[in-house]
Amino acid sequence: MSTFSAPKGTYDLLPPDSADYLAVREAFSAPLRRSGYGYVETPGFEHTELFSRGVGESTDIVTKEMYTLTTKGGDELALRPEGTASVLRAALQANLHRGALPVKLWYSGSYYRYERPQAGRYRHFSQVGAEALGAEDPALDAELIVLAADAYRSLGLRHVRLLLNSLGDRECRPVYRAALQDFLRGLDLDEDTRRRIELNPLRVLDDKRESVQRQLSGAPMMRDHLCEGCKSYHEQVRELLTAQGVAFEDDPRLVRGLDYYTRTTFEFVHDGLGSQSAVGGGGRYDGLSEMIGGPELPSVGWALGVDRTVLALRAEGVSLELPPATEVFAVPVGEEARRELFTAVTELRRQGVAADFAYGGKGMKNAMKSANRSGARYALVLGDRDLTEGVAQLKNLESGEQRPVPLDRVVTEVCAKLGRT
Ligand code: AMP
């Protein structure tokens, strides 16, 4: 006999903890649904080239972290490492961009990166994302950032910080890129990093090593090279955020690991998570559509990490107030009682009450244990004597108080007690 474990870098979501994951997804997506974002779902895998072109040939995600496969039919596919390229692909394929703009979409799902597993970094993880396609408007950037900031706050998180930067556009970014390359070429760096200077110099700014950071103190910064258009756009985003009471920190070093970003870039970080501190991030990607063969379609979006947000909740000691999984637990004694209570449970459920039942023919003592463990507020107990008297015992599991309820009024009484009409 063999036993299997989940593959390295993955983990299972099991009750009761899994309830927190659902609550985080709900907290992230509810504000989007209230703000005109429609739900989109794309396949878990795409043509590998979508990501190599979209995310960027020189990024870690594409060079090291993609799960790729060749199908029996010879297709080169990759498990999706992120959501934006797929969502944009789907929108272009369905011609959504020919309708009213912006197209606002949200999604929730699993993503896959072959990374070195550590606390907060997994090979399979979960994101909720939002994309607003086809509009260049600082208020749209601000909308998305406000929605994310409010979502973290609605969960009760108090230590999420927002880092904000602008990466410029196709006019000013190349000039800055060249200036940065000039500066970086003069530094004492290893072979790998020297190669990165030529491919993706902005990423060198993100190098976490002390030996590299020390040399970067005089590096040219994008913010000093922004063109007038980018400068004014960024200023408007900042003003709109301030007006909504959303605090941010300007972080001129923020570049992020994906190539497609332009102008507004942001990251939400949590200080209780150690080195994997980013709980979410995003930005504007005005050139991405063209990079994957579409028309010009300036867009902005974000993806928030569900796994790390749950870790952040734990780090802050926040426990979510979740509706009880079970409100009423039925405990029958004897065959006839089982039939009666099973019907009552079905009816309660049909009335919208969360109800469960002592299955497996357990004795009264074990059944009451299950009732207590379920977290239910009430137990509905039915024994032989109750049956002859035509009542069930409704027991408040918090106070221990118990009283008989006529069998034909059980559903009405329980609904009334729980405040259901
Ligand atoms: P990114 O697409 O890299 O900007 O990721 C957006 C968010 O997804 C991050 O801020 C993290 O919260 C989460 N995330 C990214 N990669 C991982 C991973 N390997 N494990 C867990 N969460 C991740």
| 82 ligand 1 Cβ < 6 A | yes
Write down the pLDDT at residue 383: 94
pLDDT at 50: 96
Does ligand 1 come within 6 angstroms of the Cβ of 115? yes
User: CB of 81 closer than 6 A to ligand 1?
Assistant: no
Instruction: Check pocket membership of 254 for ligand 1, CB cut-off 6 A.
Output: no
CA 89 – ligand 1 centroid, Å: 21
**Ligand 1 contacts CB of residue 248 (under 6 A):** no
> What pLDDT score was predicted for residue 260?
78
Question: Which residue has its alpha carbon closest to ligand 1 atom 21?
Answer: 121
Alpha carbons 397 and 178: distance in angstroms, whole number: 70
Strand ranges of the sheet holding 38-39, from the earlier edge strand across to the other edge: 38-39, 103-112, 124-133, 299-305, 278-284, 262-270, 160-166, 249-250
Q: What is the pLDDT of residue 163?
A: 97
Q: Domain 328-417, CATH 3.40.50.800 — does that match? A: yes
Which pLDDT score, from 0 to 100, does residue 1 have? 55
Q: Is 270 in the pocket of ligand 1 (CB under 6 A)?
A: no
Q: Where are the domains of the chain?
A: 17-172+226-316, 328-417
The residue whose C-alpha atom lies closest to atom 13 belonging to ligand 1 is 305
The CATH superfamily holding the domain 17-172+226-316 is: Bira Bifunctional Protein; Domain 2 (3.30.930.10)
Cβ neighbours of residue 145 under 8 Å, at least 6 residues apart?
162, 164, 237, 241, 246, 248, 266, 302
Task: Return the pLDDT at 58.
Answer: 79
User: What pLDDT score does 26 carry?
Assistant: 98
Q: Which of 116, 59, 80 is nearest to 255 (CA)?
A: 59
Binding site membership of 310 for ligand 1 (Cβ less than 6 Å): no
Considering the entire predicted model, what is its pTM? Answer: 0.94
Strands across the sheet with 391-396, in order? 355-357, 328-332, 378-382, 391-396, 402-406
Question: pLDDT by residue for the chain (421 residues), tens digit each?
Answer: 579 999 999 999 999 999 999 999 999 999 999 999 999 999 999 999 999 998 888 788 998 999 999 999 999 999 999 999 999 999 999 999 999 999 999 999 999 999 999 999 999 999 999 999 999 999 999 999 999 999 999 999 999 999 999 999 999 999 999 999 999 999 999 999 999 899 889 889 888 899 999 999 999 999 999 999 999 999 999 999 999 999 999 999 898 766 778 999 999 999 999 989 999 999 999 999 999 999 999 999 999 999 999 999 999 999 999 988 999 999 999 999 999 999 999 999 999 999 999 999 778 999 999 999 999 999 999 999 999 999 999 999 999 999 999 999 999 999 999 998 7
Ligand 1: centre distance to CA 10 (Å): 14
Ligand 1 contact via 113 beta carbon (within 6 Å): yes
How many angstroms separate the alpha carbon of residue 259 from the centre of ligand 1? 15
* Whole-number pLDDT of residue 257: 66
Q: Please work out whether the CB of residue 257 comes within 6 Å of at least one atom of ligand 1.
A: yes
State if residue 20 touches ligand 1 by the CB under 6 angstroms criterion.
no
Based on the number of CB atoms within 10 Å of its own CB, is 187 exposed (0-12), middle (13-18) or buried (19 or more)?
middle
Indicate the top mutation candidate among 107, 308, 310, 313 to test ligand 1's pocket, ranked by most ligand atoms within 8 A of CB. 308
Q: Please tell me the predicted confidence (pLDDT) of residue 415.
A: 95
Ligand 1: residue whose CA is nearest its atom 10: 280
Q: Give the number of the atom of ligand 1 that is nearest the alpha carbon of residue 82.
A: 2
Q: Which residues pair with 246 in a beta bridge?
A: none
Task: Please determine whether the domains at 17-172+226-316 and 328-417 fall in the same fold group of CATH.
Answer: no
